[in-house]
C-alpha cells in the first residue's frame, strides 16, 4: 500500500497508534527485520518529521527537552548560546561547568551517564558529538544530562576541561511529538568522477554538477570513500581538503578543520604544504597524501 507521509500517519493513527518511532539501535534492527520479512525492498515511512524551529534537546530519551523555563546553565558571560552567528554550533559542551555550543563535528572529551550511585563517567578520548553519543550508548546509558545546579555540582570534581554532554539542537521530532535523539540516516551519496582534473577544476565540477568535493569527517565516511576509490583510474583521488598557508592547518571545503585524519604517516604534519591539497590513495591503505593542486586526478563529489 503506497501513501504519502501524511496519509500514512492518518492510517496508522486510525488503525493502530501512530507511525513507528525508533529510539535505539535494537528498535532499528527490529524494524529492518520486520520490513525484510515482507519482501519489500523500497523505502518505508517512519514517524520522523522535521519541525519549523530548532529546539535544544537532551540525548537521554527520558530527559525533558531544554526550554527557556528551565534553570539553564548557559554561560551568559560568554554570550552563550551563540549558534546564531554561524548557525553550525548545534551540540553542547560543558566549559567551566557552564553550557557552551560547539560544532558537532569538532572533537572533545565527553561524559557518559551510567544511572548508578556514581552516575557520571569521564571518557578522556577525543570524539565528535555523535561518536561520543554512540560510545556512551554502547558502553553505558547515554551522554550525560546536566540540567540543574545539583548536576553541575556533581560534575565539579570530575571535569576540569571542556567536555561533550548530551545537549544538542535539532528540528526533528517523532509523529507523537516526542523528541528524537537516535539517528540512522542513509549515508551521504558519493560520486567517483573518473576524469583527471586539477583540484580547482574538480571542485568547480562538483559544485556545478553535484554539491562539492567530499569532506571526510569520520571513519564511516572514510570507509565509503575507500570502497569508491578502488574503481579509480588514477593512483590518487582528490578530496575536498586543502592547506591554509596563513593558519598552517588543513581544512575541508565546508570550512571545518580536519579533526578526523587518515594521513600516510608523516605526510600531513608540519607547515610545508603551502599550495597543496589532499588526496586519497586509490590502492594500498587508502590513506591521505598532500599533493600540489595542479596535479590531475580522479575525484569524489558529494551529492
Q: What are the E-state strand segments in the chain?
A: 48-58, 91-95, 98-102, 108-113, 120-127, 142-143, 163-174, 190-197, 212-213, 236-244, 249-252, 276-281, 288-292, 297-302
Whole-angstrom distance, CA of residue 196 vs CA of residue 302: 17
- Nearby residues of 41 by Cβ (< 8 Å), 6 or more positions away: none
Q: Which three cell numbers stand for residue 270?
A: 608540519
Give yes or no for residue 217 having a pLDDT over 90: no
pTM: 0.54
**Which carries the bigger pLDDT value, residue 262 or residue 1?**
262
Give SS3 for 37. Answer: helix
Amino acid 48: pLDDT: 84
> Is residue 183 over pLDDT 70?
no
Strand partners, 111: 122
pLDDT over 50 (residue 152):
yes
Return d(Cα 71, Cα 281) in angstroms, integer.
51
**DSSP run (H or E) holding 74:** none
Mean pLDDT of the chain: 84
pLDDT in tens, 104-126: 888 999 999 987 777 899 999 99
Model confidence at 277, pLDDT cuts 50, 70, 90, reads very high
Q: Is the pLDDT of residue 67 over 60?
A: no
pLDDT over threshold 90, residue 223: no
DSSP 66: P
CA 96 vs CA 55, 143, 156, 169, 193: distances in Å:
23, 18, 9, 21, 47
Range 77-102 average pLDDT: 81
Write phi, then psi, for 14 (nearest 5 degrees): -75, -40
Give pLDDT, residue 177.
65
In this predicted structure, the answer to whether residue 56 has a pLDDT above a threshold of 90 is no
CA distance 37 to 254: 41
Identify the structural domains of the chain with CATH numbers, from first to last: 51-173 (no CATH), 190-302 (3.10.100.10)
Residue 86 binned pLDDT confidence (cut-offs 50, 70, 90): very low
Amino acid at each position: 500500500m503506497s501513501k504519502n507521509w501524511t496519509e500514512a500517519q492518518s492510517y496508522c493513527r486510525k488503525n493502530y497508534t501512530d507511525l513507528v518511532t525508533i529510539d535505539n539501535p535494537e528498535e532499528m534492527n527490529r524494524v529492518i527485520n520486520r520490513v525484510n520479512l515482507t519482501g519489500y525492498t523500497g523505502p518505508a515511512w517512519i514517524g520522523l518529521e522535521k519541525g519549523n524551529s530548532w529546539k535544544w534537546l537532551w540525548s537521554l530519551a527520558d530527559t525533558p527537552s531544554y526550554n527557556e523555563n528551565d534553570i539553564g546553565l548557559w554561560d551568559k558571560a560568554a554570550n552563550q548560546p551563540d549558534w546564531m552567528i554561524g548557525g553550525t554550533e548545534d551540540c553542547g559542551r560543558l566549559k567551566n561547568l557552564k553550557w557552551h555550543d560547539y560544532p558537532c563535528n569538532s572533537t572533545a572529551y565527553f561524559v557518559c551517564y551510567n544511572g548508578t550511585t556514581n552516575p557520571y563517567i569521564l571518557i578522556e578520548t577525543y570524539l565528535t558529538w555523535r561518536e561520543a553519543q554512540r560510545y556512551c550508548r554502547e558502553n553505558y546509558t547515554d551522554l550525560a544530562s546536566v540540567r540543574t545546579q545539583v548536576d553541575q555540582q556533581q560534575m565539579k570534581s570530575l571535569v576540569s576541561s571542556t567536555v561533550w554532554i548530551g545537549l544538542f539542537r535539532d528540528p526533528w521530532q517523532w509523529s507523537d511529538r516526542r523528541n528524537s535523539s537516535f539517528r540512522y540516516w542513509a549515508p551521504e551519496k558519493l560520486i567517483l568522477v573518473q576524469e583527471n582534473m586539477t583540484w580547482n577544476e574538480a571542485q568547480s565540477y562538483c559544485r556545478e554538477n553535484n554539491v562539492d568535493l567530499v569532506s571526510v569527517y569520520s571513519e564511516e565516511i572514510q570507509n565509503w570513500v575507500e570502497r569508491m576509490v578502488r574503481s579509480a583510474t588514477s593512483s590518487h583521488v582528490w578530496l575536498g581538503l586543502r592547506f591554509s598557508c596563513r593558519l598552517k592547518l588543513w581544512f575541508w571545503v565546508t570550512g571545518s578543520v580536519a579533526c578526523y585524519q587518515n594521513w600516510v604517516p608523516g605526510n600531513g604534519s608540519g607547515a610545508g604544504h603551502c599550495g597543496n591539497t589532499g588526496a586519497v590513495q586509490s590502492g594500498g591503505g587508502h590513506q591521505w597524501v598532500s599533493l600540489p593542486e595542479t596535479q590531475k586526478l580522479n575525484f569524489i563529489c558529494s551529492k
